[in-house]
Amino acid sequence: MEGLIRCSANYVPLSPISFLLRAAMVYRDRASIVYGDVRYTWRDTLQRCTRLASALTHLGISRGDVVAVLAPNIPAMYELHFGVPMGAMDILSKTRTKLPLLVLIPESDPSSSNISNTISMSKNLEYESLLLTGRLDFEVKWPNDECDPIALNYTSGTTSSPKGVIYSHRGAYLNSLAAALLNEMGSMPVYLWCVPMFHCNGWCLIWGVAAQGGTNVCQRNVTAKGVFDNISKHKVTHLGGAPTVLNMIVNAPASEQRTLPGKVAVMTGGAPPPPNVLFKMEELGFNVYHSYGLTETYGPGTVCTWKPEWNSLPRDTQAKVKSRQGLHHVGLEEVDIKDPVTMKSVPLDAKTMGEVMFRGNTVMSGYFKDLKAAHDAFNGGWFRSGDLGVKHPDGYIELKDRSKDIIISGGENISTIEVEAVLFSHPAVLEAAVVGRPDDHWGETPCAFVKLKDGFNASAEEIIKFCRDKLPRYMAPRSVVFMDLPKTSTGKTQKFVLREKAKAMGSLSKKSVSRLIFDIDSEKLRTISSPPDFDYNREGLMLGVLGGFLYTCNNYAGLDFSIWDGNVLILRDDETLELYDPRRKKFGNIVIKGVSSILEAVNYVASFDSLRDIVKGECVRDLYVKSE
């Protein structure tokens, strides 16, 4: 359009560095960082970050050099997120390689007076001493292009090798503001750091809290007691954490819990939170916001925005709704669930599964030194997450699993997320993870790895029965292992480790071995192979009921068994009951799973009102169509 002008008056590259400069003016004397007895104002933080940028530049660190940080959630870690880009500008080296220089951050744990450094100080620098060499009149370096890199974050490697994810100034700026909005952060919040600052730059809230002039309450180690103590002492208004942190909070001993001074907003993500954990958090006075994203989306990419009309739903239903992933936040263009082959969106039926995909300004710039992986991830014009999910009629998405975590048992897809949610609802279970265990007959079956709460006991049989009462039988774990779950530094369960353990356990069922084989005849019920205590008078009638049931089901489903006489009922060791037509040498497509006795199968069949309900209705539980 004629008359448009782009110049320094109307265009400045976006960068979250600007949040710090504004906070130092607007919230000058307000606390920016609290860590034990250490307390800084926003003016202090700007000065310290400016000195840091100056000192790094004086050491010869400039555009193109790599600055890596190994530190917990302490003030220095927060400051480095501003100081490094304010001076060095760019973190990715494209040219020369320099000898590494180590700057030591002294041990300043508020709970300990010990200071120990195992590396000789004579050859390296100490952080606070380094700051003193910096100048306050140092001129902050701004990016020439808002798409310049600001950070390099590595994926946690729970499903594959870790990859370096490149963040831009623009993406960090937009996602920081979006994160503050989806947390409903007003001016001057008090944020307790439970999310590791190194993980997606603290879900971009390192910069987001600065944008709102908030107070960052740092804690080196995250414990339930520390969370409750800090909330009480500093009047915390917001915190974040993976579901493992929430689980730790709700299971804290009564002696460690405290009454909250007010409502505390909690953003959770990293894994779908079990509804039972969400329930208990609400009971304690926390208001949980469920977000979902990946390292490749700068952390949070969606939010399950709560709607007032949901307040009238039963509490169990509310928890299930809140555990959905929702829709994209305002900084992202779109999230969708698509068929990964055709790239068509799945219907809004809460059933059809597809791959979760993103596009927008808060999607990564690429993978460090891995163009092929980046091209594969962006194939089709969307970022392919590798997560599988469905879309509800209101458009909200719900994760079902990682594509690598889905268990395929006898042709049926089993969502480990759904099984884990049931496990978490068991009163004795503290942590749980489900993976596939090899099975000679079904391909694989669910195997649960469980950590029990202190002072609680539960057997594998009890856990399995608990799940069978709440899930279709084929989804319930068939084996349970009690152990501490392996985790990444961000609190995610390392399922690849558990998969290796399950693989080493071998197959649970023996291939093609049957416990009972019954021949059904209209004139008589003839046992081909059965245990010695088989009772014709009692169990014969049961066989007739079951045989007729499966015969009718298979014909109703279109298989068209030739005749009734001579068909064979088979109850296998893997607790599957099926019908065989010896004339056509064909098994029925309709089988019953998860029955250990004839009586159990009869009781199951009797629980349905009509055949139409079983085959065509929504109430199908343990009746399945076999895969060819």
Of 357-361, 419-423, 507-511, give the range with the top mean pLDDT.
357-361
Quick check: is 305 in a domain? no
Write the CA distances from 173 to 12, 201, 203, 314, 449, integer angstroms: 12, 12, 12, 39, 40
**Among 104-118, 399-413, 559-573, where is mean pLDDT lowest?**
104-118
Write the CA distances from 494 to 367, 429, 538, integer angstroms: 22, 18, 50
**Pick from 366, 298, 362, 299: nearest CA to 330:** 362
Specify whether 530 is located in the same domain as 478: no
Final residue belonging to a domain, choices 466, 482, 505 = 505
Q: What is the pLDDT of residue 117?
A: 40
Specify whether 615 is located in the same domain as 524: yes
Quick check: is 375 in a domain? no
Specify whether 468 is located in the same domain as 523: no
Quick check: is 202 in a domain? no
Number of domains in the chain: 3
- What is the sign of the dihedral through the CA atoms of 572, 576, 577 and 582? negative
Mean pLDDT of the chain: 81
**Pick from 185, 178, 236, 176: nearest CA to 205:** 176
Q: With bands split at pLDDT 50, 70 and 90, how would you rate the model's confidence at 489?
A: confident
Length of the chain: 628
Higher pLDDT, 565 or 144: 144
The answer on pLDDT for 38 being more than 90 is yes
Quick check: is 536 in a domain? yes
Residue with tokens 């300990």: 112
**What pLDDT digit, counting tens, does each position of 217-232 carry?**
999 999 999 999 999 9
Determine the 3-state secondary structure of 457 from DSSP. coil
Higher pLDDT, 23 or 601: 23
Left if phi > 0, otherwise alpha if psi is -120 to 50, otherwise beta: which for 476?
beta
Q: What is the pLDDT of residue 568?
A: 65
Average pLDDT rounded to a whole number, residues 84-103: 59
Specify whether 414 is located in the same domain as 464: yes
Q: Return the bridge partners of 239, or none.
A: 192, 266
Give 8: exposed, middle or buried? Use CB within 10 Å, 0-12, 13-18, 19+. exposed
Residue with tokens 């009690």: 482
Quick check: is 187 in a domain? no
Question: Is there a contact between 234 and 258 (Cβ–Cβ < 8 Å)?
Answer: no
Specify whether 107 is located in the same domain as 127: yes
Q: With bands split at pLDDT 50, 70 and 90, how would you rate the model's confidence at 40?
A: very high
Specify whether 520 is located in the same domain as 544: yes
DSSP H/E element including 339: none
Write the CA distances from 527 to 198, 536, 564, 566, 572, integer angstroms: 66, 9, 16, 12, 15
Determine the 3-state secondary structure of 90 from DSSP. coil
The answer on pLDDT for 441 being more than 90 is no
Instruction: Work out the widest C-alpha separation in the chain, in whole angstroms.
Output: 102
Final residue belonging to a domain, choices 141, 156, 181 = 141
Q: What is the pLDDT of residue 505?
A: 83
- Which structural domain, as residue segments, surrounds residue 617? 514-625
Question: Is there a contact between 291 and 182 (Cβ–Cβ < 8 Å)?
Answer: yes
User: d(Cα 598, Cα 520) in Å, to the nearest integer?
Assistant: 14
Specify whether 442 is located in the same domain as 532: no
Specify whether 495 is located in the same domain as 534: no
Specify whether 529 is located in the same domain as 550: yes
Record the pTM: 0.71
**What pLDDT digit, counting tens, does each position of 234-274 carry?**
999 999 998 889 989 999 999 999 999 999 999 998 777 78
Specify whether 409 is located in the same domain as 481: yes
User: d(Cα 96, Cα 90) in Å, to the nearest integer?
Assistant: 14
Specify whether 532 is located in the same domain as 492: no
Average pLDDT rounded to a whole number, residues 306-323: 90
**CATH code of the domain containing 432:** 3.30.300.30
Specify whether 618 is located in the same domain as 519: yes
The answer on pLDDT for 323 being more than 80 is yes
Final residue belonging to a domain, choices 505, 533, 558 = 505
The DSSP code for 432 is E
* Pairing verdict, β 164-168 and 149-154: antiparallel
Q: What is the pLDDT of residue 549?
A: 65
- Which 3-state string (H, E, C) describes 186-243? CCCCEEECCCCCCCHHHHCHHHHHHHCCCEEECCCCCCHHHHHHHHHHHCCCEEEECH
User: d(Cα 62, Cα 46) in Å, to the nearest integer?
Assistant: 20
Quick check: is 559 in a domain? yes
User: Which two structure tokens, joined as six digits, stand for 63?
Assistant: 């555009």
Percent of the chain with pLDDT over 70: 73
Higher pLDDT, 460 or 189: 189
Q: What is the pLDDT of residue 557?
A: 52
User: d(Cα 248, Cα 256) in Å, to the nearest integer?
Assistant: 11
Left if phi > 0, otherwise alpha if psi is -120 to 50, otherwise beta: which for 575?
left
The answer on pLDDT for 158 being more than 90 is no
**Pick from 584, 580, 583, 582: nearest CA to 626:** 580
Question: Is there a contact between 351 and 390 (Cβ–Cβ < 8 Å)?
Answer: yes
User: d(Cα 402, Cα 159) in Å, to the nearest integer?
Assistant: 9
Q: With bands split at pLDDT 50, 70 and 90, how would you rate the model's confidence at 186?
A: very high
Q: Return the bridge partners of 222, or none.
A: none
Q: With bands split at pLDDT 50, 70 and 90, how would you rate the model's confidence at 586?
A: low
The answer on pLDDT for 618 being more than 50 is no
Quick check: is 594 in a domain? yes
User: d(Cα 300, Cα 297) in Å, to the nearest integer?
Assistant: 7
User: Which two structure tokens, joined as six digits, stand for 22?
Assistant: 């504004």
Quick check: is 415 in a domain? yes
Q: What is the pLDDT of residue 544?
A: 60
* Pairing verdict, β 327-328 and 299-303: antiparallel
Determine the 3-state secondary structure of 414 from DSSP. strand
